[in-house]
Amino acid sequence: DKKNTILRFTENNEIIGCVLLIEKKDQLYLGMLTVSPTLQNSGIGKKLMQKAEIFASELGVFKIVMTVITVREELIAWYKRHGYVDTGAREPFPVSDVFSQTSKEPLEFMVLEKRIS
């Protein structure tokens, strides 16, 4: 049984950042963390992650997991600076008729996790 929650930050009735949280048994999946392009590097992403950790704690969940496409090295480094670690697990990137892979390397997702208290 999965339950989805969206956390968001608003300013002047406009959403300026949001994140999808999916409860999965003993962990919380964090996905689609998004901040308005004009407000990136302003701390909103960090605040959303902190709120997600509080939410997980309130649920009694002690691990947050996420997937990040492996070619996004700067994004992976940002998550690592915020306590996430590479689990070593990889998931395939879905390729469809709509999206054809143009990269020479196969695209895949890195699974990151953070244990919280």
Residue 23 CA to residue 18 CA, distance in Å, equals: 16
Q: What is the DSSP letter of 14?
A: E
pLDDT > 60? residue 81: yes
pLDDT at 6: 93
Comparison of pLDDT for 99 and 60, the residue scoring more: 60
Q: Specify the CATH number for the domain of residue 29.
A: 3.40.630.30
Mean pLDDT score of the chain: 90
Residue 70 CA to residue 7 CA, distance in Å, equals: 25
Q: 16 vs 33, 50, 83, 87, 88, CA distance in Å?
A: 11, 16, 24, 30, 32
For the chain, the domain total comes to 1
Highest mean pLDDT among 1-5, 15-19, 91-95, 104-108: 15-19
* Count of C-beta atoms within a 10 Å radius of residue 44: 19
What pTM did the predictor assign?
A: 0.86
Q: Which domain holds residue 85?
A: 3-115
Read off the pLDDT of each residue in 65-79 and give the average, rounded to a whole number.
Answer: 95
Q: 62 vs 24, 55, 99, 102, 114, CA distance in Å?
A: 12, 10, 35, 38, 8
